[in-house]
Amino acid sequence: MNDWQEDARDGFINSLYEDFANDVLAGKDELYGEVVSRFTLERLQSYYVANPTVAARALWAYQQAAGFLGSHPEAALVFASIAAEVGLKAGLLKPILHGLVHDESLALIIAELVPEQRNQTFQKLLFAILREYGGLDLAAFKRPGTAKTLWEEMQDVQKRRNAVIHRGEAATSAEAQQALDIATVVVHTLFGQVVATIGLQADAQLRVSKAAV
């Protein structure tokens, strides 16, 4: 895909995302207080219980990335980026969207748009609910020893992934390792922490179940 084609695609998604967010959030003067208060922990829990393998594809991509790390840094970077994105979207944000939107197919469409970050208001709403109910402040969370937030680091990795995929650029071993480290935090740390915070548990394969009493 040429640069101008990427720009055109970004412009289209930008417009679509902003139109949707404006429609959904229009007229809400006290956005966070109203929407967050209407969100229910029970609906969030029920989604995980009904969909215990929400993180399975993220784990699969993570395992692929780890396997490629020593020999194919480009593949490792791409799969690590996939693991982090899918872990965030399917594992943490889609369950929240399920609580906001009853139509699961629509929730999936919205979740696919979230990493594009084209509407800051809607992004902040999702992050606010994740912070309130999941105990994770994604807007501020940083990996130990890093200056950037995890969210910012994910954007950097996404850019490098796009450069590898769309322009055939090479990736260094250090870039691949950083991408895998980021994916490790999303898949193996944050997912389990959020699930535990809402009163559930995840096993070694990231399968979610009710916590033992």
| Higher-pLDDT residue of 110, 191 | 191
Q: Is the pTM of this model over 0.85?
A: no
**Cβ partners under 8 Å of residue 194, min gap 6:** 91, 92, 130, 134, 135, 136
**Cβ partners under 8 Å of residue 159, min gap 6:** none
Q: Tell me how many degrees the CA angle 116-122-128 measures, rounded to the nearest 5.
A: 115
Place of tokens 């992050």: 127
For the chain, give the mean pLDDT.
82
Question: Rounded to the nearest 5°, which phi and psi values hold at 54?
Answer: -60, -25
The pLDDT of residue 13 is above 70: no
Torsion angle of alpha carbons 118, 43, 55, 172, nearest 10°? 30
Summarize pLDDT for 71-81 with one digit per residue, the tens. 999 999 999 99
3-state secondary structure of 201: strand
Contacts made by residues 139-148, CB under 8 angstroms, sequence distance 24+? 141/190, 143/181, 143/182, 143/185
Q: Tell me what pLDDT residue 28 has.
A: 46
3-state secondary structure of 209: strand
Q: Tell me what pLDDT residue 31 has.
A: 47
Q: Tell me what pLDDT residue 83 has.
A: 97
In whole angstroms, give the CA distance from residue 28 to residue 136.
24
The pLDDT of residue 12 is above 70: no
